[in-house]
Amino acid sequence: MVSLLFGTHSHQPVGNFDHVFEWAYNRSYRPFIDVLERFPNFRMTLHFTGPLMAWIHKHHPEFNERVRSIVERGQVEIVVSGFYEPVLWSIPHVDRVDQIKKAVDFVREHFGAEAFGLWLTERVWESDVVRSLIEAGVRYVLVDDFHFMCAGKSREELHGYYLTEYEGKTLAVFPIDQKLRYLIPFRPIHETMEYLTELKKYGDAAAIIFDDGEKFGVWPGTFEWVYDKGWLELFMKTITDTEWVNPTTYSEYMRSHRPLGRIYLPSASYFEMSEWSLPAERALEFGDFIHELEQRGLLERFRQFVRGGIWPGFLVKYEESNRMHKKMLYLSMLAREAGDGAALDAVHRAQCNDAYWHGVFGGLYLPHLRHAIYENLLDAEKRVAGEGIEVLDLDKDGFDEIVVRNSHLSVQMAPARGGAVVELSSFSHKYNLGDTLKRRFEHYHKGIKVAEKSSNGVASIHEIEKVVDQRTYRHLKYDWHERLNFIEHFLPPNAGINEFQDCSFRDMGDFTLGIYGFEVDGDVVRLHRKGVIRRDDSEEEAAITKTFWIDANKLRVDYSVRARGGLRLGVELNLALPSSDNAGTRFLVDGEFVGNPSQKVIHPSAFEIAIHDVNGMKVRVRASERFELWGVPIYTVSQSESGFDLTYQENSFLLIFALDGDSKDFAIEVEIS
């Protein structure tokens, strides 16, 4: 007898568009239950994340009643994760326990069931998570077979569950079968049945599959394959008609089967994550290594010894992710110290994993997901963080940051990052204008070609061809600095707006990436740096002092520049705007319309640029003297489940001031209203 432990994990992240929830509901979640109800003998396990469960409860309460009905008749078991689907490693222990218990309570209230199992988000396993799971009442957890192989097990030993422990308290761990993940639902059913037949030789074996519910209708080509062509219905019929296959739940299997032994798992996630989390150049080398092993027919033999990166590597690979993560940790601490439940729930929403990393899905590259993280962080910050100035190493890089808050704004400066403003947030809008993204080389950019896309049948998202259109290809540009605010460039004579947009000019100064000293004087923050300017073959000294303060909804920066004349100083601002480039946002220079976020803007002499957003936010950037203005949209090219996405990230503005003498003093003010 082969026990089929079949489960699906369905998720939509905090901040995703309502129409995406509705589309996924109609393409995957509802039709899946439509089929499942027709096969009462097909027993399985379901997982819906908190954001998805809450949305369904609000918009389709009848769906919850249908799920409750099949749970009550014993056909389905419900498992949980952290309610807002955090990577558990990435959040504090107390938040892990709270998030899991919140999910358990929701399942009990809405489905009338107790949940004892846990879907480990992105299967990110770190040993310190075991304590949290046990304390939250979890009895079993689902990870990948790769985790077990890294601990020395062979595939032949993975057709059941093992026990791990923390301080003598045990937790069952199930290995998800990678081969079944790739067979279901992409391949014809007979291939799955052939594999299940192979498992019969292990006696009373378990075939363990727990994977994304979106594979059943949302992934490219799967709706037609799974529903229109009847794959899912035929699969359930075949399984229930096969006498030697017993579809069952995980808890039921544990009641009738003893564990296979004891196990201690190393830090791991699923195999693909070990490539994605590496720096791009190392990811390329890792991919080449895997390909070479495949060519030699050695990969399956030695896969368990092939290790790439781990999930925390994303916090090194993407500074923008780390910045959100460390602010989240800080506010979690403040919310608990304040005993503010509403602030803590906002922090929990901000722990939703998707915007913190990037693999085959958009993740960090999707601005609306990052904006949702900041929206919730600012909600919490407004409640529990005091006004004034704080100096602390917030991003944990060994250098202090400076946070200035009043009732309107939260501004964070990083002296060690070019003296830049790395966060420029409005509490009233719950929005961070500094939520930008640097254009980076990603390992999957190698080999991209310009061609027309074509489709032949149903492919896994790991098999998408590397083709893009001409417009997308033109935007494959890379930045040599982060997209921050109030960073300075000494422009070479041949630099124009195109070089600025492509980030291809050679800065004559060393200020953009330089370390600034700082002092805090009352409600004023002063940053200063003595650097050099390279002119022809010589170097000459230069100095910049910039003084920051906030007043109501305005941030003012006073500049004092000391450098030999005949130069152009560009002050760069990068603003992540609330609306996309086709949503009606308007740019005005000195009161006259000049364009929108999708267009280049160039003006020879301006005092002010105003941004009028259709969502009600207005941003005005004023200077104390005239400047030449360059403005360009910034797009990224990122991998997604459907191929490659060209995504608007921010607008970059350069305010250019002529340095005619040996000194220059001016001020720039940003107002958010």
Contact, 330 vs 378, CB < 8 A?
A: no
Cα 594 from Cα 192, distance rounded (Å): 60
**CB-based burial of residue 9 (10 Å sphere; 0-12 exposed, 13-18 middle, 19+ buried)?**
buried
Q: How many Cα neighbours within 13 Å face the side chain of 136?
A: 31
Which of these is catalytic: 212, 272, 499, 590? 212
Radius of gyration of the chain (CA): 27
Tokens standing for residue 543: 């100095």
Q: How many Cα neighbours within 13 Å face the side chain of 462?
A: 10
Task: List the strands of the sheet with 401-405, edge to edge.
Answer: 388-392, 401-405, 409-414, 420-426, 431-432
Beta strands in 552-599 (DSSP E): 554-562, 567-575, 586-589, 592-595
Please tell me whether residue 368 adopts helix, strand or coil conformation.
helix
Which contiguous run of DSSP H or E holds residue 670? strand 663-672
> Which DSSP symbol is given to 36?
H
- Does 671 qualify as catalytic in the annotation? no
DSSP 451-476: ------S---GGG---EE-HHHHHT-
- Does 521 qualify as catalytic in the annotation? no
Any idea which residue has 């009028």 for tokens?
A: 612
**CB-based burial of residue 475 (10 Å sphere; 0-12 exposed, 13-18 middle, 19+ buried)?**
middle
Q: Which amino acid is at 41?
A: N
Cα 91 from Cα 172, distance rounded (Å): 22
Cα 358 from Cα 276, distance rounded (Å): 7
Residues 6+ apart with CB under 8 A from 367: 435, 437, 576, 647, 648, 649
Which of these is catalytic: 95, 98, 122, 572? 122
Cα 221 from Cα 349, distance rounded (Å): 31
Looking at the annotation, which residues are catalytic?
Answer: 122, 212
